[in-house]
Structure 1
Amino acid sequence: MKIYARTLTIAGSDSGGGAGIQADLKTFAALGCYGMSVLTALTAQNTKAVTGIFPVPPAFIAEQLKAVLSDIGTDAVKIGMLHSPEVIEVVAKTLVEFGVTNIVLDPVMVAKSGDKLLQDEAVDALKSYLLPIATLITPNLPETSVLLGRTVELQADMPQAAVDLLRLGAGAVLVKGGHLITDDSADLLYLATSEHHWFSTARIDTKNSHGTGCTLSSAIAAGLAKGLSVVEAVSAAKTYLTQALRTGAEYRLGHGHGPVHHFYDFWTH
């Protein structure tokens, strides 16, 4: 019998379809994985703003997780929007209970529109419960600054920031440089072994960048589910996202930040 590469996303729903659970499932499908989802919150959201957040109770998040893991299982997990300390704790404890590995944590704190998606008190819970079990964390520069309690905004700041993030317990850190004021977008992958790699791509001129963080972390999880190493999975995910951004730049959807083109390899108009 054939088997699927199984991927699970634990994140919030984006009613506009460009980020969150929707972006994750599209990415999993585009990269040949069987996607499953555990919803942590519903958002009323479009290309311009998040106008409302309806959190899912922690007990029901645990129920969703146990339903999936006790029957289907998973080869990799992507974790996105977790809005409260209670949710973070229940997700971490359930993943440990089922012995889940290949955990990619995208510490979503602020939406592209600037709307806050994480309670202040949840940052400590993130450090205590999730970072120590994560295979890889993928913070951008503002998220890196919040996690470290200091401003990280220059490319020269990124190596030390990565080292300091590793001390919080994750197996590897990908500090994303999308917020750099440079012609290139440089991301730094740092492993616990001190092995590190820069991934630099030319910056693509596009407004359609909604969901890039979700898409990248999901693509990395897909790579891990298919047996790639962390370095290989990050490299492949960067290639996928770059092409999804480049192709998506040709489209117009909504009046704000549109989505990337997750299925560029399968259909275009």
Structure 2
Amino acid sequence: MVAKALTIAGSDSGGGAGIQADLKAFSAMGVYGASVVTAVTAQNTQAVTAIHPVPDGVVAAQIRAVLDDIEIDAIKIGMLGTPLLIAAVAEALAGYDGPIVLDPVMVAKSGDMLLADSAIDALTSLLFGRATLLTPNLPEAAKLVGEGSADAQANALLKLGVGAVLMKGGHANGAVCMDQLVSQTGTQEISAQRVNTRNTHGTGCSYSSAIAAGLAQGMELNDAVLRAHTWLHQAILHADGLHVGQGHGPVHHFHALWP
């Protein structure tokens, strides 16, 4: 049986982030991907020029259509945008008991805002308790729980109900990029040499989706994170070979299959 995962996220017309990146990551991991579109963005490697939210009821209908027919082994949640949409997604997922990876998408690589400040309370109150893993980068963690050390922020996020937190270090400085997987049982540090490239569009989406793929295949959380981290590092190393766009290009999801 091929594992099956569902992404609930926004669309990226440039193909580097959002649902497009999620489906590529699922496929690269050997997982069948289904999708629920929460917003249509006019986006490329340089900017997000328009956002058209999909009506809340249509998003919920997509979720129900998938879950009523397909046995989904794990879910990745990305861009949601508004409190009402978050509430609709939470209600539609009420009967789902599989693992959920929640990526709190707030700001695009271009700097464009993707989550209204008013939606943060809804995100924490309605979806954090459902999340097997939360995957914030450092700016997102600061918006969720305030400034502080990564350890303090992770522990504050755990207190909000998530099962575990992956603190991503991509926005930090230094030659080594350090991620921290934090749960009630302790902290695991995962490091890699920082890659000197501007082509990192969609790294967060791809990372969380690759983890969800591992969970869909029955992997333990630590193993799923480690495999996804290794894969993503290679995807970043090979990103410059794609030559996509004039801004922040995408990572190479299929580096193991074609150059």
- Which bracket does the TM-score occupy, shorter chain normalised? over 0.9
2:224 corresponding residue in structure 1: 233
- Matched residue type, 2:164: A
Whether 1:108 and 2:105 are equivalent positions in the alignment is: yes
1:76 corresponding residue in structure 2: 74
Contact 1:74-1:100 within 8 A present in 2 as well: no
Q: Percent identity?
A: 56
TM score, norm. by length of structure 2? 0.98
1:39 to 26, 37, 40: 37
1:8 corresponding residue in structure 2: 6
SS in 2 for 1:249: helix
1:145 to 126, 142, 145: 142
1:19 to 17, 20, 26: 17
Distance 1:69 1:124 in 2: 26
Distance 1:258 1:186 in 2: 22
1:170 corresponding residue in structure 2: 162
- Matched residue type, 1:151: E
SS in 2 for 1:266: coil
SS in 1 for 2:179: strand
Q: Deviations over 1:7-45 (max 9, x none)?
A: 000000000000000000011011100000000000000
- Matched residue type, 1:256: G
Offset of residue 161 of structure 1: 1.1
RMSD over aligned Cα atoms: 0.8
Contact 1:28-1:35 within 8 A present in 2 as well: yes
Q: Deviations over 1:238-269 (max 9, x none)?
A: 0010000001123321110000000111111x
Between stretches 242-251 and 22-31, larger displacement belongs to: 242-251
2:184 to 171, 187, 192: 192
Contact 1:38-1:61 within 8 A present in 2 as well: yes
Distance 2:71 2:88 in 1: 18
> Structure 1 regions of 5+ residues with no counterpart?
none
- Matched residue type, 1:122: A
Whether 1:161 and 2:161 are equivalent positions in the alignment is: no
TM score, norm. by length of structure 1? 0.95
SS in 1 for 2:117: coil
Distance 1:47 1:174 in 2: 26
Distance 1:165 1:30 in 2: 30
1:61 corresponding residue in structure 2: 59
Instruction: Count residues with an aligned counterpart.
Output: 259
Distance 2:24 2:9 in 1: 14
2:236 corresponding residue in structure 1: 245
- Matched residue type, 1:121: S
- Matched residue type, 2:209: S
Q: Deviations over 1:176-234 (max 9, x none)?
A: 111111111101100123x2100111000111100000000000000000111111110
> Structure 2 regions of 5+ residues with no counterpart?
none
Contact 1:10-1:78 within 8 A present in 2 as well: yes
Contact 1:103-1:134 within 8 A present in 2 as well: yes
Distance 2:85 2:183 in 1: 27
Runs of 4 or more off by more than 2 Å in structure 1?
Answer: none
Offset of residue 160 of structure 1: 1.5
1:126 corresponding residue in structure 2: 123
Offset of residue 167 of structure 1: 0.2
